Structure 1
């Protein structure tokens, strides 16, 4: 028995070593493939990105600016042209933005300062007569004849006004949109200031009792206060009518009246820039206004009264209460209202 077991055992070992692998049945392969899923898709073909062909010649690069050669000094001994000398002068003196413009440049940009407002260049006799009032019995007299021609306006002049604090200064307003200040008795240039702040004809101009300030009004529906000494505009007051006439209150220099083409009379406060009182009477264009000495009343004249166009009107107003005082007819063609 032992011999038979050994013989059979050896035979089975040889069979295992020499036997080939058994092929997988077709039904088994099909089942395995279905369990593993469908085969992966083939990737889509995409064309490669377009690249432009290289240029047949190199692209030129912009040339760098070469540094200018150093300017020759006049002490080097060689001839230096006028252009080089000008460049040397410009490079040696840098421009300061805070420095004042030269007179020619200032005139080009329309600076209102064109002359002097000082009284230092007046004739001696005129200077003393303006500064000092002659005492009773004094033999010093004013010059018998004073005459001067003032030019500058290019169109008609609508109004003139002497300064109360600087008797040698005269202001004028014209149809050429400008306000001029003349140093009347100056030996040299008599035109001291030319203001071009208005955009239409200037109808009236008045000196402020406070000093070197001017108030002007015109057809651009505005009133403008300027500093004469500095040549600058201080404040603008907007109206809804063309301004015909203005007047300062003698009792309060911060208040002034304005009258216009629509018949409105307004009392303004310079400090606030606002209207404090308004006077309405259904009037026509205001031609003139004048305060009483105490400033409590004022009188105005108009071209027509809209209630009766055949009548001209002169009305006296109470400044504080904004009401006209009593009226009286003294002429069939003119109505006086008091």
Structure 2
């Protein structure tokens, strides 16, 4: 017997595939529902105990709990500031909310779905709101006082890659994206507050210092002649660049975190190590402290 003939599929151009993808993004959002949002946001005793402690710069000694979030890669993981929750943005179209402290095992308590993959997420100061940016270019704000439904949507001129709430502000966000896009927005009016102009490629991460007046941003552009583009410290309200060449290695920094004490911030480099910097001018690199012996995947 002759094998069955293979079905011939017509060729689809890139333009037609792009139009089909844009139409698929017009699908309405699948909003999550909760029976009782109050039970979900009750502060755990363990969280209250750690909130009263002083910050110490010590490395963890043991693994307390382990969780397999997804078979696909995880783009972003964020601890909830006020409650025992951990949010994970997977490579799929789902945000997963986990409760870590209230039981022996980590429990998945809520899933938030979207028509496109999530890129980044961040909790508000009160931990009652969550802002997310997706690969389809949309920025959504989920209000957990209203059962986790979308309360606001923000549209920007480019694909957002990083987002962060202002320190002490529940209606202002900082957004980074492709083509050196870096700006602050007011969620109530939807208008742009400030724009931070500089040719630095795609914004990989943004992080506020503890005082909330300055923030550091990293990009994917590393100049062969100088390394002034990979880490930049900005004045939030004035929109001025106040740092010059604080990191001289020719590596990008896909993740930045500031220490709660306010003295230092860490930058994960693609050179397979974490570098530590001071949060005070001139933001010097600590040459005597380096966290290494791990591998960073380069996208």
TM-score category, normalised to shorter length: 0.5 to 0.7
Q: Is the 8 A contact 2:142 2:148 kept in 1?
A: yes
> Which structure 2 residues correspond to residues 190-201 of structure 1 after superposition, within 5 A?
190-197=107-114, 199-201=115-117
2:64 pairs, out of 140, 146, 157, with 146
2: CA distance, partners of 1:305 / 1:275: 28
1:320 pairs, out of 237, 253, 260, with 237
- Which residue of structure 1 lines up, in the alignment, with residue 87 of structure 2? 171
Q: Is the 8 A contact 2:223 2:229 kept in 1?
A: no
2: CA distance, partners of 1:172 / 1:236: 20
Matched, 1:244 2:161: yes
Deviation string, structure 1 residues 236-258 (Cα, Å, up to 9, x no partner): 11122221111122143322211
1: CA distance, partners of 2:154 / 2:44: 36
Q: Is the 8 A contact 1:304 1:311 kept in 2?
A: no
For residue 201 of structure 2, give the secondary structure of its aligned residue in structure 1. Answer: coil
> Which structure 2 residues correspond to residues 56-67 of structure 1 after superposition, within 5 A?
none
- Which residue of structure 1 lines up, in the alignment, with residue 271 of structure 2? none
Q: Is the 8 A contact 2:85 2:100 kept in 1?
A: yes
Deviation for aligned residue 1:150: 5.0
Deviation for aligned residue 1:231: 2.3
- Which residue of structure 2 lines up, in the alignment, with residue 207 of structure 1? 123
> Which structure 2 residues correspond to residues 111-150 of structure 1 after superposition, within 5 A?
112-113=32-33, 127-133=44-50, 146-150=64-68
- Which has the larger helix fraction? 1
2: CA distance, partners of 1:130 / 1:202: 27
CA radius of gyration, larger in: 1
Tell me: CA distance 1:305–1:238, structure 2 relative to 1, closer, same or farther (3 Å): farther
Tell me: CA distance 1:211–1:333, structure 2 relative to 1, closer, same or farther (3 Å): closer
Deviation for aligned residue 1:232: 0.7
Deviation for aligned residue 1:309: 9.6
Tell me: CA distance 1:135–1:236, structure 2 relative to 1, closer, same or farther (3 Å): closer
Matched, 1:221 2:137: yes
2: CA distance, partners of 1:119 / 1:298: 35
- Higher RCO, 1 vs 2 (CA within 8 Å, ≥6 residues apart): 2
Using the TM superposition, name which of 311-320 and 203-212 deviates more. Answer: 311-320
1: CA distance, partners of 2:220 / 2:78: 23
Deviation for aligned residue 1:114: 6.5
- Which residue of structure 1 lines up, in the alignment, with residue 211 of structure 2? 294
Tell me: CA distance 1:332–1:135, structure 2 relative to 1, closer, same or farther (3 Å): closer
> Which structure 2 residues correspond to residues 12-31 of structure 1 after superposition, within 5 A?
none
1: CA distance, partners of 2:236 / 2:63: 42
Q: State the superposition RMSD in angstroms.
A: 3.7
For residue 253 of structure 1, give the secondary structure of its aligned residue in structure 2. Answer: coil
Q: Is the 8 A contact 2:143 2:150 kept in 1?
A: yes
Question: Which consecutive residues of structure 2, in runs of 5 or more, have no partner in the other structure?
Answer: 1-28, 54-61, 253-276, 284-299
2:199 pairs, out of 282, 289, 298, with 282
Q: Is the 8 A contact 1:245 1:287 kept in 2?
A: yes
Deviation for aligned residue 1:117: 6.1
Matched, 1:231 2:140: no
For residue 170 of structure 2, give the secondary structure of its aligned residue in structure 1. Answer: strand
2: CA distance, partners of 1:302 / 1:149: 30
For residue 46 of structure 2, give the secondary structure of its aligned residue in structure 1. Answer: helix
- Which residue of structure 2 lines up, in the alignment, with residue 303 of structure 1? 220
Deviation for aligned residue 1:305: 5.5
